[in-house]
Amino acid sequence: MIEFRGSLLTRTTAVFALAATAILASALVSINALIVEPLMQRAANNQAAIIELAADTYFELPADRRAEFELQMLVDHDLLVSTIKQDMPRAVLDASYFSILRDALVDRYEAEISFYDDGENYWVNLPNPTAGPLELQIGFSSELPYLTQQIVGFAVVIVAAIIVMLASYVAVRRIARPLQRASNATERFRSRTSFESIPVEGPREIRTLTANLNQMYEEITALLENRTALLAGISHDIRTPLTRMRLALEINREELGDGVADQLSNDLSQMDELVENALEYARGTQESPERVPFHSFFTSLVDGIVADIRIDWEGTRQFELELAPSAFSRVVTNLVLNAIEHADDVSVFVEVDEERVAIHVRDRGSGIPAEERTKVFRPFYRMDSARGGEFRHSGLGLAIVKQLCDNFGWSVSIGENKGGGTDVCVSITRSHSTEAVHVSSASS
């Protein structure tokens, strides 16, 4: 089964083009079988009858009237009647009409009939029905009869097929353009860029769909804004009692004892981290992308996270990349720290080619099962059984990575490291460097 790829306009136009081609082919076959062939058969039989009649009449006429008869046949039937035998090569019949004509003459004379060609006409030698020594040569045009009518008929069918294809293209384009605008708006909304309402136009069903999409986008935007404000507000308000609790802990450390005080201090630190991550998740980022010298920026970023981490580089290093520096720094930082916390032998590998920059964060840990690789990007999702249950964390590290990647058109995915462990590949297209970031790393 043929599968068409591409836009709705391209695919639908291709389907209509194939349909129009099939209609055209079937129409031509039908015209040829039902009109052209019967017409050709009838024309060949009529021509054979006229040639036979001309030959019989010629030999029956007195000698003094034969010249007049030759002129009459030329004027009325475009036949050349002559008793002067010419030496001509045999004709090569490349049209079925003349083969039918020859077969018709063979049936009428019950003898083998050959056609000869003088360059302009076909000639046929006919026997004398009176058994006299005189033989007759009759010439006729080598052009196909009704050729103009056939060409016009075929042209009408072809023009009709072209009109159908053009009309189908216009109709499909009228539907596809609003759908394309809706698709583009969805992509912009998915990347959290400014959303502009889609013009409500086109057929009734398309107008209804567009209006519903506009309303849905407005409701989702309001929901996200309310969620962000609520989460940010709660997280911000929690910081005040946390500060009071930490102050009270320090004041009463001697009464509580060092063991209890250290445990409470550790709990407060974890709560502080949770609040900070929740605020970061709620805020997302409104940062504008800018062009940065990627090699120096990236190496200094990784060195600032862990000084002795290994960075392998493949491809050119002297280029600038358009990205949001703070958001990208947070993505790489979260991934590297997450890998260090849950695994051993963490390294970074950068691939650069003409189309993209791919950043891999690799480790030699226990890895992440395939069925968990989308779940680990959910807020507060933990997979301690696979990554070491002794670690306690907020569960927002990879959720923040996912949100930042979505905000800037990046994509994040998790794969397997060769030899065991997890591989995170952040891929940024260089032409649109705020898109397609793949990351392979540990779970939060």
Question: If you average pLDDT over residues 122-130, what whole number do you get?
Answer: 79
pLDDT for the residue 442? 39
Q: Where does 252-362 show beta strands of DSSP type E?
A: 290-293, 310-314, 320-323, 347-352, 356-362
Residue 338, SS3 per DSSP: helix
Tell me the DSSP string of 387-427.
H-TT----S-HHHHHHHHHHHTT----EEEPTTSSEEEEEE
* Residues 6+ away with beta carbon under 8 Å from 111: 127
CA–chain centroid gap for 382, Å, is 38
Q: Give dist(CA 371, CA 377) in Å, integer.
A: 12
pLDDT at 4 over 60: no
Residue whose C-alpha is closest to residue 179's, from 220, 209, 204, 218: 209
Apex CA 202: angle with CA 197 and CA 205, to 5°? 90
pLDDT for the residue 388? 43
Taking only the tens place, the pLDDT of each residue in 177-225 is: 777 777 777 766 655 555 677 888 777 877 888 888 888 878 877 776 7
**Pairing state of beta strands 422-429 and 356-362?**
antiparallel
pLDDT for the residue 438? 40
Residue 270: pLDDT band with limits 50, 70, 90: confident
Asked if residue 214 lies in contact with residue 264, where contact means CB atoms within 8 angstroms, the answer is: no
pLDDT at 39 over 70: yes
pLDDT for the residue 147? 60
More confident residue, 188 or 39: 39
Q: Give dist(CA 218, CA 130) in Å, integer.
A: 101
Taking only the tens place, the pLDDT of each residue in 48-102 is: 888 888 888 888 888 888 888 888 888 888 888 887 777 788 888 777 778 888 8
pLDDT at 386 over 50: no
The alpha carbons of the chain give a radius of gyration, in whole angstroms, of 44
Burial class (CB in 10 A: 0-12, 13-18, 19+), 40: buried
Residue 384: pLDDT band with limits 50, 70, 90: low
Please state the pTM of the whole predicted model. 0.50
pLDDT at 1 over 90: no
pLDDT for the residue 90? 84
Q: Which residue has the tokens 């998740």?
A: 281
Lowest mean pLDDT among 123-127, 227-231, 392-396, 430-434: 430-434
Q: Give dist(CA 268, CA 227) in Å, integer.
A: 25
Lowest mean pLDDT among 122-136, 159-173, 334-348, 381-395: 381-395
* Residues 6+ away with beta carbon under 8 Å from 346: 306, 309, 336, 339, 340, 361, 362, 363
Q: Give dist(CA 66, CA 58) in Å, integer.
A: 6
Q: Give dist(CA 124, CA 112) in Å, integer.
A: 11
Share of the chain above pLDDT 90, in %: 6
pLDDT for the residue 35? 74
Lowest mean pLDDT among 143-147, 198-202, 216-220, 289-293: 143-147
Paired tokens of 208:
């209804």
The dihedral sign for the CA sequence 373, 377, 379, 383:
positive
More confident residue, 189 or 292: 292
pLDDT for the residue 387? 43
List, as own/partner pairs, every contact residues 218-224 make where C-beta atoms lie below 8 angstroms and the sequence separation is at least 24, other chains included: 220/189, 221/195
Lowest mean pLDDT among 192-201, 380-389, 422-431: 380-389
Q: What is the pLDDT of the chain when averaged over all its residues?
A: 78
Question: If you average pLDDT over residues 270-298, what whole number do you get?
Answer: 75
Asked if residue 373 lies in contact with residue 416, where contact means CB atoms within 8 angstroms, the answer is: no
Question: If you average pLDDT over residues 132-156, what whole number do you get?
Answer: 73
Lowest mean pLDDT among 64-68, 131-135, 259-263, 433-437: 433-437
H or E stretch including 141?
strand 136-141
Residue whose C-alpha is closest to residue 49's, from 98, 101, 126, 117: 101
More confident residue, 345 or 83: 345
